[in-house]
C-alpha cells in the first residue's frame, strides 16, 4: 500500500533529480530509454529472439558485449574454424540475458566458467551443476579485467574435469575496459566487480567509452577501433578453445553495444547497452559453430556444494566493469 507520505517522498525525490540533472541531455535520454523505450521493447515491441538454450551445443563461449558486425569484421580478416551465422539474443545487457535465459530453470548438465560476476550474484546457486568463478581468484590487477588467456586455460581445465558436462565459458572481452592494443577510457575501477564483492558504499565510476562518445568527447571511429582491438585481444584464446574443446562448440555473445544508433520507432540515439532496449545493435550477435571429434555424452547430476557468501571484493569487480547501480 502506498501512503501519502510515500507519494510525497517520491515526488520530492523526482523534483530533486530534475533540479540536479535538468540541463543534462544524457540524463534525460537515459530516463526516457528506461521509462519508455525499454517498456515498449519488452512489451508490444519485443522482437523474436534465439535463446541459447534452444540451440545445440556441447560448449558455449560467450564474448561479453560483442555485436555481430564487429565479430564479422574481425572474422573476415582473421577467420576462425567453423561456420558463422547471426542470431538474436534475448536481452541488451548481461543481467537480462542471464535472467531470461537461465532463471527459474535447472541446468545440472552445465558447468559455467565465468569472468562475469553477475552469474554468481543474479542466479540461484543451484542453477548449474557447478560454477567456476574466475573473476574471484584470477583477476588481472594491471588490466582490471580477466585476461582472455586465463579464461581459455581454466575453461579447458574445467572441460577435462567435467568430461560429461556441457561447458559455458563467459569471457569479459570485448566488454570494457578496452585493454587491447588500442586502449580507451579509464580502468581503475570495475563497477560490477565491486558490487559483487560486497562494496555497497563505493558509488563512483569512470565514464565508459560509449558515454564519452555520447558526450562528443571522442569520435565514433576511435571507439570502434578500441572496441575492435578489445575483441582482437581475445581472438587467440577463442581460437584455442575452438581447436581444443571436444564436441560441438558455439561462440556467441550475451548482447552488443550501441554507438548512436536510433531506437526506432523512437527517434532517440542509444549508447552502450541499456537493459531492455532491443535494437539490432544490441541484440544481433554472432553464432559460430565448430565440431572437434565425437560429440560429448552429457549427463545431468545434482549441483556441487557451493559457497553462497559474496565477500567484499564482489562489488568492486562489478563496478570496474561499469555496471554501477
Question: pLDDT digit string (tens) for 198-252?
Answer: 665 554 557 899 999 999 999 999 999 999 999 999 999 999 999 999 999 999 9
- Residue range 299-315: average pLDDT? 72
Q: What are the pLDDT digits (tens) for 20-59?
A: 545 567 767 888 888 899 999 988 889 999 999 999 999 9
> Is 241 within 8 Å of 152 (Cβ atoms)?
yes
51-320: CATH, from 3.40.720, 3.90.550, 1.20.120, 3.40.50: 3.40.720
- Check whether 18 has a pLDDT greater than 70: no
- The grid coordinates listed for 59 are 560448449
How far are the Cα atoms of 159, 170, 286, 289 from residue 176, in angstroms, in the given order? 27, 14, 18, 25
- Check whether 255 has a pLDDT greater than 70: yes
pLDDT of residue 117: 95
| Buried b or exposed e, range 151-190, using 16+ CB within 10 angstroms | bbbbbbebbeebeebbbbbbbbbbbbbbbbebebbbbebb
Q: What are the pLDDT digits (tens) for 1-10?
A: 445 554 444 4
- Check whether 152 has a pLDDT greater than 50: yes
pLDDT of residue 204: 52
How far are the Cα atoms of 71, 111, 246 from residue 271, in angstroms, in the given order? 18, 33, 38
What gap in Å lies between CA 191 and CA 221, rounded to an integer?
A: 26
Q: What are the pLDDT digits (tens) for 203-216?
A: 455 789 999 999 99
Share of the chain above pLDDT 70, in %: 80
pLDDT of residue 31: 82
Domain borders along the chain are: 1-46, 51-320
**Which band of pLDDT confidence, cut at 50, 70 and 90, is reported for residue 11?**
very low
pLDDT of residue 185: 78
- How far separated are the first and last CA of the chain, in Å rounded? 26
- Residue range 131-139: average pLDDT? 95
Let me know the angle formed at the C-alpha of 134 by 129 and 51, rounded to the nearest 5 degrees.
55
Greatest C-alpha distance within the chain = 67
Q: Which distant-in-sequence residues (6+ apart) come within 8 Å of 91 by Cβ?
A: 97, 99, 100, 254, 255, 275, 276, 278, 283
How far are the Cα atoms of 61, 74, 78, 311, 321 from residue 198, in angstroms, in the given order? 27, 37, 40, 5, 15
pLDDT of residue 76: 98
Average pLDDT of the residues of the chain: 87
pLDDT of residue 29: 80
- Check whether 322 has a pLDDT greater than 80: no
Given the C-alpha cell 501512503, which residue does it identify?
3
- Residue range 133-145: average pLDDT? 93
For the entire predicted model, the pTM comes to 0.87
Among the listed residues 243, 272, 215, the one whose alpha carbon sits nearest the alpha carbon of residue 82: 243
Give the alpha-carbon dihedral of 232, 187, 140, 178, to 10 degrees. 0
> Is 187 within 8 Å of 320 (Cβ atoms)?
yes
pLDDT of residue 195: 65
Give the alpha-carbon dihedral of 210, 212, 216, 222, to 10 degrees. -70
What gap in Å lies between CA 165 and CA 247, rounded to an integer?
A: 11
- Check whether 154 has a pLDDT greater than 80: yes
User: E strands of the chain, at which residues?
Assistant: 59-63, 83-88, 107-114, 128-133, 166-171, 178-179, 183-184, 247-252, 258-262, 269-272, 284-292
pLDDT of residue 268: 92
What gap in Å lies between CA 63 and CA 148, rounded to an integer?
A: 10
pLDDT of residue 207: 83
Share of the chain above pLDDT 90, in %: 72
Other beta carbons within 10 Å of 221:
8
pLDDT of residue 217: 94
Amino acid at each position: 500500500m502506498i501512503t501519502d507520505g510515500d507519494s510525497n517522498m517520491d515526488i520530492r525525490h523526482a523534483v530533486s533529480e530534475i533540479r540536479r540533472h535538468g540541463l543534462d541531455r544524457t540524463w534525460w535520454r537515459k530516463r526516457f530509454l528506461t521509462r519508455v523505450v525499454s517498456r515498449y521493447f519488452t512489451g508490444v515491441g519485443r522482437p523474436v529472439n534465439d535463446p541459447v538454450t534452444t540451440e545445440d551445443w556441447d560448449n558455449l563461449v560467450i564474448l561479453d558485449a560483442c555485436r555481430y558486425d564487429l565479430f564479422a569484421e574481425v572474422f573476415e580478416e582473421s577467420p576462425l574454424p567453423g561456420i558463422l551465422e547471426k542470431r538474436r539474443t534475448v536481452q541488451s545487457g548481461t543481467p537480462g540475458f542471464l535472467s531470461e535465459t537461465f532463471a527459474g530453470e535447472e541446468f545440472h548438465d552445465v558447468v559455467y566458467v565465468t569472468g562475469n560476476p553477475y552469474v554468481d550474484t543474479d542466479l540461484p546457486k543451484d542453477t548449474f551443476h557447478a560454477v567456476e568463478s574466475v573473476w574471484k581468484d584470477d583477476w588481472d590487477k594491471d588490466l582490471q579485467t580477466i585476461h582472455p588467456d586465463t579464461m581459455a586455460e581454466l575453461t579447458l581445465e574445467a572441460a577435462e574435469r567435467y568430461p560429461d558436462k556441457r561447458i559455458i565459458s563467459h569471457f569479459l572481452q570485448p566488454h570494457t575496459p578496452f585493454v587491447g592494443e588500442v586502449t580507451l577510457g579509464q580502468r581503475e575501477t570495475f563497477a560490477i566487480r565491486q558490487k559483487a564483492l560486497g562494496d555497497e558504499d563505493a558509488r563512483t565510476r569512470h565514464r565508459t567509452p560509449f558515454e564519452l562518445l555520447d558526450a562528443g568527447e571522442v569520435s565514433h571511429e576511435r571507439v570502434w577501433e578500441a572496441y575492435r582491438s578489445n575483441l582482437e585481444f581475445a581472438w587467440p584464446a577463442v581460437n584455442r578453445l575452438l581447436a581444443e574443446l571436444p564436441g560441438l562448440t558455439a561462440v556467441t555473445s550475451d548482447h552488443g553495444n550501441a554507438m548512436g544508433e536510433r531506437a526506432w520507432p523512437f527517434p532517440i540515439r542509444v549508447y552502450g547497452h541499456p537493459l531492455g532496449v532491443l535494437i539490432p545493435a544490441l541484440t544481433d550477435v554472432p553464432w559460430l559453430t565448430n565440431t572437434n571429434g565425437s560429440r560429448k555424452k552429457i549427463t545431468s547430476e545434482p549441483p556441487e556444494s557451493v559457497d553462497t557468501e559474496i565477500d567484499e571484493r564482489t562489488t568492486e569487480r562489478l563496478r570496474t566493469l561499469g555496471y554501477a547501480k
